[in-house]
Structure 1
Amino acid sequence: MQPDRHFTGLEKRIDAAAHRFLAGLPRHRISDALIEFLVFGLKQAWACLFGGAMLGLLILTRWLWPEGDAGLVTRYDFLFLSAILIQLAMLIFRLEAWEEAKVILIFHVVGTAMEVFKTHAGSWVYPEANFFRIGGVPLFSGFMYAAVGSYMARINRIFDIRLNHYPPLWTTVVLAGAIYVNFFSHHFLWDIRWLLFAATFALYWRTTMHYRVFRFRHKMPLLVAFLLTALFIWIAENIGTWSRAWLYPNQHDAWVPVSLGKLGSWYLLMIISVVLVTLVHRPRPYVAEDRRESPAAADMKEMT
């Protein structure tokens, strides 16, 4: 059974060229492992295209934008307008599927609503002035959440992800809703994140993610995938705060790394992002005939 990858037009051409080149390389256990590792890294970079572009802009504007000098356009407004242009370019040049744009839009709205509340509560601040904002929140900030949604949607099709023992969809929606509400309610009531961690484990501990890199399918517990993704987002957040795009209360005088406690917050946010993606791309199991398919047979199908 050939995986239904839903590649964009450009991705189909890149995929075909990569298969023609890589499939002709000598077969050996070591070379196979190196090719899988190389393709895994390239696919991850492709999935991070939107988020990587945004991080690059944060770094460049930190170096190039005169501090306290708005000029003709403020730094935050430049980031906002650039994010819109990047998003439009990705759709026009078919670097992104329209289904992913839906996820990005939803995640943008969800993230912006949380940003407005969190900045009002003093959790973090945006220290620079700008025009395109809601309350104290510059509109570019929503695109930082959208970048997470973009990544989650893109890896789903780029790696042809299949999920075995995925919990009933309604239970994941309830969990995601509880997580989102707790991001707000813990400022007034008890913080139930430990209960949410337990609920996450109870729902997903049996779920296994199967994904294709090049010749082979690999598998990983979904909870581990959540943790690894949250770790990389935490690293990206450290870059964001170093660039002074936003600041936590303990970073006003001098930059310090973001607290490891935020890793748990990003871990929970992974649940919300995954659930949003599954509402657009319903989870597909890794079925029996896929398991019986040999790597050689899969290669032939991929090449045709």
Structure 2
Amino acid sequence: MAKVKTYVRHLIVFGIQQALCCLFPVLVFASLALSHLFTGVLPRYDFMLLMCIIIQIALYFTKIETRDEVFVICVFHLLGLAMELFKVHFHSWSYPEAAHTKFFGVPLYSGFMYASVASYMCQAWRRLDLSIINWPNHVWARVVGGCIYINFFSNHFIHDARYLIGIFVVLLFRKANVLFRIQNSIYRIPVILSFMLIGFFIWLAENIATRLGAWQYAYQHKAWQLVNFQKLSSWAFLVIVSFIIVAELKMLKDKRETV
């Protein structure tokens, strides 16, 4: 019975910590939900850019996010914005509303949607005292991350290699585990399972985002529909790239601090 109570308590603590890790994306989604109330003052996409910047500044100056975490978030914003420009150009999705801060059809706030994934990962790493065992060779981890990111672009010109890359990911990370701390107890989860779980919850968040008009796929223009289940794999691969970048930066920093 004592063990059950401990597990329940840890589960509650874990849930609270996860909620705190999601603070940035939750605030972004809350801004999306409220953005239609300010259309008489600012177009929604401009309002969202302003709110994202304010949220980022507030999280930094309240020390909820560190300087290093803000740096990682900015990197993800630029990587996400580059992908947005490419995907919108090839009509993968669109931003149909008018705005002053649209660049080649892409509102500048869109990069913050990717940055929110980085924010979650950085927060989780610190709040749950994450560590990784059996991480693969750094060179191979970076290569597979690069291949996934390139495939997001190249699949418009050549065969989509996501499933071939997926096999390589499974082989490469099959032994890797994430360790996290809840109070004085250490738990572990396979890295591959964490990829899938985070990707699934991002897909759920994407359904909310498209419902709120953050962006639209071609099949959602006439009426909102559930986001295609194929996007689950897309988000899972985005999570893998994000995880590799954050993990490699964290391990590089730890190595420098121990030298």
Fold-level similarity (TM above 0.5): yes
Q: Secondary structure at the match of 1:219?
A: strand
Task: Tell me the TM-score normalised to structure 2 length.
Answer: 0.94
Equivalent position to 1:266, from 198, 210, 235: 235
Aligned residue pair count: 254
The answer to whether the 8 A contact 1:163-1:283 is kept is: no
What secondary structure is seen at the aligned counterpart in 2 of 1:83?
helix
Residue of 117, 125, 130 corresponding to 2:94: 125
1:247-266 Cα offsets, whole Å, 9 max, x none, are 00000011111011000001
Q: Secondary structure at the match of 2:251?
A: coil
Check whether the contact 1:36–1:215 (CA below 8 A) recurs between aligned residues.
Answer: no
Residue 278 (structure 1) aligned to one of 234, 247, 252: 247
Residue 36 of structure 1 is matched in structure 2 by 10
Percent identity, please. Answer: 39
Instruction: Name the larger-Rg structure.
Output: 1
CA distance in 1 between partners of 2:245 and 2:190 (Å): 19
Structure 1 residue 158: deviation in Å?
1.0
CA distance in structure 2 between the aligned counterparts of 1:202 and 1:153, rounded to whole angstroms:
25
Match of 1:71 among 40, 44, 50: 40
1:145 corresponds to which residue?
114
Correspondence 1:50 to 2:24: yes
Q: Which residue of 2 aligns with 1:226?
A: 195
Q: Distance in 2 between matches of 1:103 and 1:258?
A: 28
Q: CA RMSD in A?
A: 1.6
Structure 2 residue 124 is the aligned partner of structure 1 residue 155: yes
Cα deviation code 1:43-93 (max 9, x no counterpart) = 00111110111111112225x35xxxx423111101100100110011111
Which runs of 5 or more residues in structure 1 are unaligned? Answer: 1-26, 286-304
Taking the aligned partners of 1:166 and 1:280, their CA distance within structure 2 comes to 13
- Give structure 1 regions of 4+ aligned residues with deviation exceeding 4 angstroms: none
Gaps of at least 5 residues in structure 2 are: 255-259
Cα distance in 2, alignment partners of residues 227 and 279 from structure 1: 19
In 1, Cα distance between equivalents of 2:11 and 2:56? 29
**How many angstroms apart in 2 are the aligned matches of 1:167 and 1:99?**
24
CA-CA distance at 1:214 after TM superposition? 1.8
Q: 1:171 aligned to 140, 162, 172, which one?
A: 140
> 2:174 pairs with 197, 200, 205, which one?
205
Residues 209 and 220 in structure 1, CA contact (< 8 A), matched pair in contact too: yes
Q: Deviations over 1:209-268 (max 9, x none)?
A: 111112311111110011000010000000000011100000001111101100000111
| Partner Cα distance (1:110, 1:172) in 2 | 18
- Whole-Å Cα distance in 1 between the matches of residues 41 and 30 of structure 2? 21
Question: What is the Cα deviation at residue 274 of structure 1?
Answer: 1.1
